[in-house]
């Protein structure tokens, strides 16, 4: 478990004069998010000259800043000895190829058998503890029925470093999919906002109030036949159900998608044919670009051969 001392005290130096209190603390604690530090300030766990402070307070020379940080709480999830398909591992990150039907995070109805349960056992305490809770390094996720590559962070610095790249949309994320119907353009871009569907809460919807910007670039890899097309999608953003909603919006829903696809399909029981093929980012320690590729699962390959045949 990641331990932190309870109390930290800092004396403001000349180079920090005029800085906001929350910015100062982010500089002193780069492994903690700014939003969490602002929460600590609001809860009175940060003192400026021994008095409660505000996040926007400007610092003066020789000001005394004190912060109290509790050790991160244990996650109430059991570690389970579940085999992982490991693509890469070092002291900072663990990259795995997630199989179909495996949930990333525990949730109602899925309290065990998840990526989190497996990672807790595999890493045995060496995981990020962002925002005061020992979350097992999950910096991004993919749907239960989506297969492919995801990265798990083993420490807070790596978690924040990769999360920042996700926020800036500088991470390479390429998905392969089989979609219904002929794709009219060889390649194209779909841009919209995405938010929870106002009526069906299981779905996401385009261009509704409160939506976040979403951009998907797609390219035809193989036309297969008149009924199905094999494509690649590159994500600029990573919104929930992004590829599924975007491809359905142009008349090419993902084959096997029970939420956005047609109700009747001869291959429906095979499952969703969406695979996170490639993930690339700047490594938190080496500061060099790394890229990981997850091979297509056997059921996906078999279906491609069948449709092409």
Question: Is residue 110 in some structural domain?
Answer: yes
Question: Is residue 148 in some structural domain?
Answer: yes
Q: Is residue 71 within 8 Å of residue 128, measured between CB atoms?
A: no
Question: Is residue 196 in some structural domain?
Answer: yes
Tokens of 164: 């920042």
pLDDT for 31 equals 62
Catalytic one among 63, 92, 143, 257? Answer: 143
Domain boundary among 168, 196, 222: 168
Output the tens digit of pLDDT for each of the chain's 309 residues.
Answer: 334 456 889 999 999 999 999 989 988 876 676 777 888 898 888 999 999 999 999 999 999 999 987 765 555 678 889 999 999 999 999 999 999 988 887 766 677 888 888 988 888 767 765 545 555 678 888 988 999 999 999 888 898 899 899 988 999 999 999 999 999 999 999 999 999 888 887 899 999 888 999 999 999 999 998 899 999 999 999 999 999 999 999 999 999 998 999 988 877 777 899 999 999 999 999 999 999 999 999 999 999 999 987
pLDDT for 74 equals 54
- H runs (alpha helix) in the chain: 21-28, 34-42, 115-123, 156-167, 242-249, 298-308
Query: Structure pTM?
Result: 0.76
Q: Which residues face 67 on adjacent strands? A: 8, 46
Question: Is residue 187 in some structural domain?
Answer: yes
Q: Could you give phi then psi for residue 274, rounded to 5 degrees? A: -130, 125
pLDDT for 133 equals 53
Q: Could you give phi then psi for residue 96, rounded to 5 degrees? A: -125, 160
Question: Is residue 2 in some structural domain?
Answer: no
For 29, the domain range is 7-68
The total number of structural domains that make up the chain:
3
Render 8-36 in DSSP notation, one character per residue.
Answer: EEEE--GGGTT-BHHHHHHHH-TTS-HHH
pLDDT for 128 equals 65
- Same structural domain for residues 26 and 114? no
Between CA 249 and CA 257 the distance in angstroms is 13
Residues in the chain, how many? 309
Q: Which residue carries 């570690």 as its tokens?
A: 79
Q: HSE-up of 124 (CA within 13 Å, CB side)?
A: 2
Between CA 11 and CA 22 the distance in angstroms is 15
pLDDT for 4 equals 47
- Same structural domain for residues 209 and 132? no
With H, G, I as helix, E, B as strand and everything else as coil, classify residue 55: coil
Question: Is residue 1 in some structural domain?
Answer: no
pLDDT for 137 equals 78
Indicate if 143 belongs to the active site: yes
- Same structural domain for residues 164 and 184? no
pLDDT for 292 equals 98
Between CA 27 and CA 236 the distance in angstroms is 28
């Amino acid at each position: 478990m990641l331990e932190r001392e309870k109390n930290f005290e800092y004396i403001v130096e000349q180079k920090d004069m005029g800085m906001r209190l929350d910015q100062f603390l982010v500089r002193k604690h780069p492994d903690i998010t700014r939003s969490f530090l602002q929460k600590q300030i609001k809860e009175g766990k940060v003192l400026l000259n021994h008095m409660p402070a505000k996040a926007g307070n400007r610092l003066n020379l020789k000001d005394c800043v004190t912060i109290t940080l509790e050790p991160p709480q244990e996650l109430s999830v059991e570690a389970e000895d579940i085999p992982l398909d490991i693509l890469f591992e070092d002291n900072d990150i663990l990259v795995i190829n997630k199989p179909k039907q495996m949930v990333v995070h525990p949730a109602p109805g899925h309290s065990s058998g998840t990526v989190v349960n497996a990672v807790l056992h595999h890493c045995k305490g060496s995981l990020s503890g962002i925002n005061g809770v020992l979350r097992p390094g999950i910096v991004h996720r993919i749907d239960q029925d989506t297969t492919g590559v995801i990265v798990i962070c083993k420490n807070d610095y790596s978690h924040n470093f990769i999360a920042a790249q996700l926020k800036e949309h500088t991470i390479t994320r390429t998905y392969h999919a089989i979609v219904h119907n002929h794709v009219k353009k060889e390649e194209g871009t779909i841009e919209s906002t995405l938010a929870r569907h106002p009526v069906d809460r299981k779905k996401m919807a385009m261009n509704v109030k409160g939506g976040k910007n979403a951009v998907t670039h797609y390219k035809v890899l193989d036309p297969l036949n008149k009924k199905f097309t094999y494509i690649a999608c590159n994500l600029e953003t990573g919104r929930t159900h992004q590829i599924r909603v975007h491809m359905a919006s142009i008349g090419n829903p993902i084959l096997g998608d029970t939420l956005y696809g047609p109700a009747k399909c001869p291959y429906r029981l095979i499952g969703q044919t969406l695979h996170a093929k490639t993930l690339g980012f700047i490594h938190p320690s080496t500061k060099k670009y790394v890229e990981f590729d997850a091979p297509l699962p056997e059921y996906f390959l078999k279906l491609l051969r069948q449709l092409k045949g």
